[in-house]
Amino acid sequence: MKKEEIKHIANIAMLDFTEEELDQFADAFSETMDFVNQIRTIDTGDEGAFQVNDMESHLREDQVGDQLSQDQATKNTASEKYGYFEIIRYVD
């Protein structure tokens, strides 16, 4: 994989690499992508594998229970705004 492609991916992921780190990462990333491409060539047939053993699902059915009102839900919050939890904004 080319350094420019890795820089582009790093930029999307908001990561900064030095040139030395890019050199080391380029080899490792290319090796990983080669492995992924090998896996893609495996013939899995028409059926996908959801579960690889004979265990049955232990999930319970959803049931609607008692609900809190909006006032009850925000009663003990440190900060509330317009009837909702006020949270710190992390993304610009």
Mean pLDDT of 8-26: 85
Mean pLDDT, the chain, rounded, equals 83
Lowest-confidence range among 25-34, 49-58, 64-73? 49-58
Dihedral of the CA atoms 85, 87, 14, 36 (nearest 10)? -30
Q: H helices of 1-92, where?
A: 3-12, 19-40, 70-74
The tokens of 14 are what? 């908001």
- 21-39 average pLDDT score: 85
* Torsion sign over Cα 17, 20, 24, 29: positive
| C-alpha–C-alpha distance, residues 7 and 26, integer Å | 10
Quick: pLDDT tens for 38-47: 988 887 776 6
The HSE-up count of residue 87 (CA atoms within 13 Å, CB side) is 5
Return the pLDDT at 18. Answer: 87
